[in-house]
Amino acid sequence: MTADVSERVTDAELVAGYRRDPELFTAVHDRYFHDIYRYVEGRLDTQVAEDITAETFLLAFDRRDRFDPERGGLRPWLFGFATNLVARHRRKEARHYKALARLDPVPVVEGHENRVVTSVAAQRMQPHLARALASLNGGERDVLLLLALGQLSYEEIAQALGISIGTVGSRLSRARAKIHAIIDKETTR
């Protein structure tokens, strides 16, 4: 399957293709690698992201015959593997957010005025956001980061985590409330 052809085929067609010829699984990798990598890198550091993304596709390849297109698409299936692998690194993730929270913002000295204002504001918010993310439980953080970093829909998040759409909504609601409360409290000091 060429790159041009693999971009036009559906997930179901990709699955049918790689079931006939396992080498065609590379089209799945090519299609979804960037999305999975971006999600994992947003949760962990670059080196771990490379490892977890590679492990995600290795697990998916090993379990490719178990994929059921009736239960959802390949994208949320892959995000499910990635999220489970990130869970193994949760302690490191929490330490990462706590370390970011301790960083002092670095002032920006050059550039266009609007870019400078935006950059300074974002840098000042980074420790607050990191503390807020560290305060979330694993389920809340998974849902929030699958939405924000993975850009998955509620339905895709539910498929990736094996939970109901209602649970996605309630976890996201709790996560947002906690983040707003922490940021509001810290920025009004």
Per-residue pLDDT for 38 more than 80?
yes
Same CATH fold assignment for domains 1-88 and 91-189: no
Q: In this predicted model, what pLDDT tens digit does every residue of 57-85 receive, in sequence order?
A: 999 999 998 998 888 899 999 999 999 99
Tokens at residue 75, please?
Answer: 């994208």
Domain 1-88 has CATH 1.10.1740.10: yes
For residues 106 and 69, which has the higher predicted lDDT (pLDDT)?
69
pTM above 0.85, yes or no: no
- pLDDT band per the 50, 70, 90 thresholds, residue 181: confident
Alpha-helical (H) ranges within 105-164 are 113-135, 138-148, 154-161
- Once rounded to an integer, what is the mean pLDDT over residues 77-101? 79
Nearest to 143 by CA among 163, 124, 116, 114: 163
Q: What is the DSSP string of 21-61?
A: -GGGGHHHHHHHHHHHHHHHHHHS-HHHHHHHHHHHHHHHH
Q: In this predicted model, what pLDDT tens digit does every residue of 125-165 receive, in sequence order?
A: 677 778 888 888 889 999 998 998 888 999 999 999 999 99
Residue spans of the domains in the chain: they are 1-88, 91-189
Domain 91-189, CATH: 1.10.10.10
- Once rounded to an integer, what is the mean pLDDT over residues 95-101? 67
